[in-house]
A and B are shown apart, each in its own frame.
Chain A
Amino acid sequence: MIAFAFLDWFWLVMFVLLMVGCGILFYRLGRKSEADFFLAGRGLPWWLPASSVYATHTATDTPMWVSGVIYKYGMAGLWYTFFAGWCAISAFVSTRIFRRSLAYTQAEWQTLRFGGMASHLLRGWTAGWQVFMNMFILGWVGIAMGKLCHYVFGWPEWLGLILFSAICAVYVLAAGYWGVVMADFQQGVIAFIAIAIVSVWGIMAAGGPATIIAKLKAMGQGWRLNPLAFTGLSGGNFPFLWFVTMMVIAVIGGFGMGTSIDWYTEAQRIQSARSVKDASYSIWWGTALVLLRNSIWAGAILGFFVLFPNLTEVSQYEFAWYRIGFENMPVGMLGFFFAAIVAIHISTISSHLNLGAVYMTRDLYHHYINPRADDRKLVTVGRVSTLILLIGSFVFGSIMENITEWLIFALWIMAAGVWLPNILQVVWWRFNGWGYLSAWIANLIFSWLVVWVLPAFGLMPSLQDYQQFWILMGLGALIYIPVTFLTKHENMDHLVKYYVMSRPIGWWKPVRREAERRGLI
């Protein structure tokens, strides 16, 4: 347990008041319309959604995860965090295309891209899946805060889970996305300063850069300084082929939409930007901050390693960065450090509360239940949805220990077999809604078989995750490519409207020709 002085509590209370104050300040803006409650009126300059991208993807469990991979793999562990690099290409390709569609959500975009029954099935499925995923992420991040509060204050885990998420819900309920993005800006600044200060402090506590390097070499651990310390072509725990797979997923994934789980949060930030250019800049710079934050952490974690080189349990070394802060920061700064952790925590919570609510409100309630609802009604439904997500997250958080393995699997199946279809839906005019839907269904079946069922019965070896990725991608293609060609392409009128509005990249020649013939472009 950590003892807080008066100054520590002062920092913490002031910070919480500042955040809740945001909700009150932007309450009037958030209640104006559905577009204000979920997209801040589509009028933000690029640096606001950029700070929200950064703040949202800096969660309570992020330093634990980064600590874990750097402690285990050294600098090479940084590549585990490079999956965020999908925004490198996305910022100039899928971000531009998605911003031009003006869709509130990915589910809505699918009704613009695809037509007929398949598009409505997809919209319902994507919306339902996203409500579930956001509730799960809220529970996941919430229980990480519960564990941290247990470590710092000795509180029971449920208290840390509920307390800070509930405080955050005040301004999300009041001001919607306006509250989220304005608070994210402050939280992002506070978190980045704290990360930089604590990490430099950690490096100095370990004796400084030269001492860390000398000690690593003396311990025979100099390889930890090499970001390309592979364990062979395909063997060991950091093979070259894993690195190649990661690069393909991260970099080429930027041509698609939904190739990363983070796409769905970014999609909301893209649409909240005031122009196509602002959307592109926000995604690029927000992700640059995410990557640079990981780089700053890496040096500090290596400093922690030379101080505590013999930790073998993940539960011990994943707290590395938190321990650097709590064990080295002076009295009075501890409260600032904890306030930064609260900032890290609630910026993620607020984003996912509002994001889950937009799928519930726009795609499920507005589209399927009450298409005639006015803005006032929709904002009320947005608030009720936020509350449902909050309560659901408490339930998920409290049972997370038992379901984590299953849910990590759920995340994996979302990434592997539909990775290529998520790109094809953007770049290939002939890929249709039935093809995409069949890819999802095939992926659900094949991933169970390849990851769990067949290895359990000894019918195939248990493969590394990068091998599973390629196999699932290939197996899925055996289903969705024939389905695509055996069903009709989308209605040409529908495709032309989509093309004229979005101007997608890739293989769209027949649609472009038709648009030109009609004199639309």
Chain B
Amino acid sequence: MAFFKTQWRPEEVDLWTKEDWLAIILSPLAYIALFIGLALSMLLIPVGFVLLGIGIVLTWLMFRIIGPKLTAVSAEYEKKQKEYLERLQRIVTWED
């Protein structure tokens, strides 16, 4: 069994799952590694390149984990989007 899911059933996509929490943890770490890594790399400081490399790997891993779920969330949600837009219009015109 894979550590994270890549195939999602409709009833699963709206739940907050392990994949979301992994993205929540990896994302700030990726930002920090890329951010500091590039700054130090601009001055050719070796640890900068190491951090930059870590940042790229973390970014790749994060999107690998969360990408399939976001695709599934989008597909499920867009089936209902028209109905929600109509409700929004009713609220702005005081009908709801």
A contacts, CB < 8 Å to B: 75, 78, 82, 85, 88-89, 91-93, 96, 100, 102-103, 108, 111-112, 199, 203, 209-210, 212-213, 225, 227, 251, 275-278, 280-281, 284, 287-288, 291-292, 294-296, 298-300, 302, 362, 366-367, 371-372, 497, 501, 503, 505, 521
Contact = CB atoms under 8 A, between A and B. Distances in A.
23 contacts: A75-B39, A88-B30, A88-B31, A89-B24, A89-B28, A92-B20, A92-B23, A209-B45, A210-B44, A225-B40, A227-B36, A227-B39, A227-B40, A251-B28, A277-B67, A277-B73, A278-B74, A280-B66, A298-B39, A300-B42, A371-B93, A372-B93, A501-B84
B35 interface: yes
A299 B87 CA distance: 51
Contact of B31 (A102, A199, A212, A288): A288
Contacts of B14: 503, 521
B85 interface: yes
Contacts of B35: 78, 82, 85, 291-292, 294-295
Contact of B71 (A88, A212, A277, A284): A277
A400 to B, nearest CB: 30
A102 B81 contact: yes
Contact of A280 (B34, B70, B78, B85): B70
Given A78-B35, A111-B91, A298-B39, 19 more contacts: A82-B35, A85-B31, A85-B32, A88-B31, A96-B73, A209-B42, A210-B44, A213-B43, A225-B40, A227-B36, A275-B77, A278-B74, A288-B31, A288-B34, A292-B35, A295-B37, A371-B92, A497-B87, A501-B84
A203 B74 contact: no
Contacts of B88: 102-103, 108, 112
Interface string B10-53: 00001010001001100110111011111110111100000000
Nearest to B96: A497
B27 A209 contact: no
B94 interface: yes
Mostly, the A contact residues are helix
Contacts of A302: 43
A67 B27 CA distance: 27
Nearest to B35: A291
Contact of A102 (B45, B66, B84): B84
A210 B42 CA distance: 11
The prevalent SS among residues of B at the interface is helix
B40 to A, nearest CB: 7
Nearest to B94: A371
Contact of B38 (A82, A281, A292): A292
B36 A276 contact: no
Contacts of A108: 88, 91-92
Contacts of B30: 88
B27 A91 contact: yes
Nearest to A303: B43
B34 A291 contact: yes
Contact of B74 (A78, A85, A277, A300): A277
A92 B93 contact: no
B23 to A, nearest CB: 5
A299 B84 contact: no
Contacts of A284: 27
A284 B34 CA distance: 13
A151 B84 CA distance: 52
B34 A298 contact: no
A275 B74 contact: yes
Contacts of A88: 27-28, 30-31
B43 A212 contact: yes
B74 A299 contact: no
Contacts of B70: 96, 276-277, 280-281
A92 B66 contact: yes
B66 A291 contact: no
Contacts of A85: 28, 31-32, 35
Contacts of A287: 31
